[in-house]
Homo-oligomer: A and B are copies of this chain.
Amino acid sequence: MNIESMPAFSLSVEALQKIIAALDTDYQRYKNMGLSLDMTRGKPCAEQLDLSAPLLSLPGDAYCSMGNIDCRNYGGIDGIAEAKALFAEYLSVPVENILVGGNASLSLMHTELTIAMLRGVQGVRQPWSRLPNVKMLCPSPGYDRHFAMCEAFGIEMLPVPLLDSGPDMDMVEQMVREDALIKGIFCVPKYSNPTGITYAKESVLRLAEMETAADDFRLFWDNAYAVHDLVDDPVPLENIFDACEKAGNPDRPLIFGSTSKITFPGAGLAVFASSTKNLNSTIEFISKKSIGPDKLNQLRHVLFLQDRHGISRHMKRHRAILEPKFNAVYATLGNCLGNAGLAKWTTPDGGYFVNLDTTAGGAAEVIKMAADLGVAFTPAGATYPYSHDPRNSNIRIAPSYPAVDEIEKAIEVLSLCIKLYAYNSILSRKRATE
């Protein structure tokens, strides 16, 4: 979007000044309300957490897992059999390729990066930390915590545009073919954070098949929203495990998932799936830092969720809570911004975010204005490596946590700030060119 193509660009300076004056009045009105609303994080609301209430008093007396293993005691470094079976079904990966861990998939990703940095990935024992530089492709906009982790490891992040079909694969293929220091790519392949797109089959196959200069190239496949649908018949995600195996690159994918947004974000389970070689290397590494994960919590989850049908039923209940919240975002944006071309936004089939783009250069200013009115959005740039949004236009909206009336209020404020920014920009431009 550029300013000149907006319908409002044809307005006279006087008309624009009148609109802006009215918006300023609205701005003062909201300022006087003393709002305090938080739209920053993809955090389930209390009502969603209530759906998993039975977990709070499980497992009760049923503390043994298959084969009469006492889950209260030490052991079982890769998780209990029932939990592995549940996640094998969940990710469509063979059960022998599954490891179930603690409560954060982020920790499992961090572990994989630590292994790579300190010892090198399995089979290719060149520790990345001994290289002059390590680079990672980062489809953007993307998940800020992936970027923060790369930065903490001193990994150079190379942004790649995230299209509606997934990462720009022409660019990805060329970069990985030419540069052996590019060691991986961070992907949220389903209901991508924040744009909500699901990678097209062709993109998944190209990621599996592409030729890489680095023979220890890895796909960090963060399938965080595998079952987090907001529509009835979502487009399925191609199976990366199978695709890589078929392409002769079985060790390429490192697949992650969790129940953070299925049960409790603060007390869920995380899962890692990969080739037998990768899994063995991981188990060897983590067996030095733990005698096993919290097996009782795994048991608790299996007793509650049971199987993929149980998960599916449970996710429908989440959807019933989330859908009105997403709809409130769309409705409020539609009401306030209409078709004026001041911003565009997504209506994702699942996940936790609505992605909004202002006119170029507007995101930081809009977010700042909204903050002045007491409405917090994810900081501008956060969805890009090094917090650098090259167009300064991306705003991530997380509607899960606030109530519907709070969302409406917050999006009214956002819309107002977008309008103020846009009309002021048009006015300045017109004056400059007069």
Chain A positions within 8 Å of B, measured between CB atoms, are 41, 43-44, 46, 49, 52, 56-61, 63, 70-76, 102-104, 106-107, 109-111, 114, 117-118, 129, 145, 148-149, 152-153, 260, 264-267, 285, 288-297
Docked CA distance A74–B49 (Å): 11
CB distance from A155 to the nearest CB of B (A): 12
Query: Across chains A and B, which 6 residue pairs bring their CB atoms closest together, nearest first?
Result: A110-B289, A267-B296, A72-B264, A74-B265, A152-B288, A57-B57
Residue of B nearest to A102 (CB): B102
Docked CA distance A397–B75 (Å): 19
Docked CA distance A297–B76 (Å): 19
| Residue contact A104 to B291, C-beta cutoff 8 Å | yes
Identify 7 residue pairs between A and B in the complex whose beta-carbon atoms are under 8 Å apart, listed by A's number.
A46-B70, A72-B267, A102-B103, A103-B293, A104-B292, A118-B118, A297-B297
Q: Given A49-B70, A104-B289, A107-B290, 9 more contacts at CB 8 Å?
A: A41-B74, A43-B73, A103-B290, A103-B294, A104-B292, A110-B290, A114-B118, A118-B153, A267-B296
Residue of B nearest to A289 (CB): B110
- Which residues on the B side are within 8 Å of A44 (C-beta)? 73
Chain A: interface secondary structure? loop
- Which residues on the B side are within 8 Å of A148 (C-beta)? 288
- Which residues on the B side are within 8 Å of A75 (C-beta)? 266
Docked CA distance A291–B59 (Å): 25
Q: Which among B73, B109, B266 is the interface contact of A49 at CB below 8 angstroms?
A: B73
Q: Which among B46, B114, B129, B296 is the interface contact of A264 at CB below 8 angstroms?
A: B296
| Residue contact A72 to B59, C-beta cutoff 8 Å | no
CB distance from A385 to the nearest CB of B (A): 14
CB distance from A45 to the nearest CB of B (A): 9
| Residue contact A72 to B289, C-beta cutoff 8 Å | no
Interface centre among A43, A49, A265 (most CB of B within 10 A): A265
Docked CA distance A129–B60 (Å): 46
| Residue contact B63 to A56, C-beta cutoff 8 Å | yes
Docked CA distance A129–B130 (Å): 9
- Which residues on the B side are within 8 Å of A293 (C-beta)? 103
| Residue contact B76 to A266, C-beta cutoff 8 Å | yes
Q: When A114-B114, A152-B285 are in contact, do A102 and B294 touch as well, CB less than 8 Å? A: yes
| Residue contact B56 to A267, C-beta cutoff 8 Å | no
CB distance from A99 to the nearest CB of B (A): 15
CB distance from A387 to the nearest CB of B (A): 15
- Which residues on the B side are within 8 Å of A109 (C-beta)? 289
Docked CA distance A58–B285 (Å): 32
Q: Which among B49, B56, B59, B70 is the interface contact of A59 at CB below 8 angstroms?
A: B56
CB distance from A83 to the nearest CB of B (A): 13
Q: When A104-B290, A288-B148 are in contact, do A264 and B57 touch as well, CB less than 8 Å? A: no
Docked CA distance A242–B267 (Å): 34
| Residue contact B129 to A118, C-beta cutoff 8 Å | yes
Residue of B nearest to A41 (CB): B74
- Which residues on the B side are within 8 Å of A296 (C-beta)? 56, 264, 266-267
- Which residues on the B side are within 8 Å of A114 (C-beta)? 114, 118
CB distance from A44 to the nearest CB of B (A): 7
Q: Which among B59, B73, B267 is the interface contact of A295 at CB below 8 angstroms?
A: B267
- Which residues on the B side are within 8 Å of A291 (C-beta)? 104, 106, 145, 265
| Residue contact B267 to A71, C-beta cutoff 8 Å | yes
| Residue contact B104 to A267, C-beta cutoff 8 Å | no
Docked CA distance A148–B289 (Å): 9
Docked CA distance A153–B288 (Å): 10
Docked CA distance A153–B129 (Å): 13
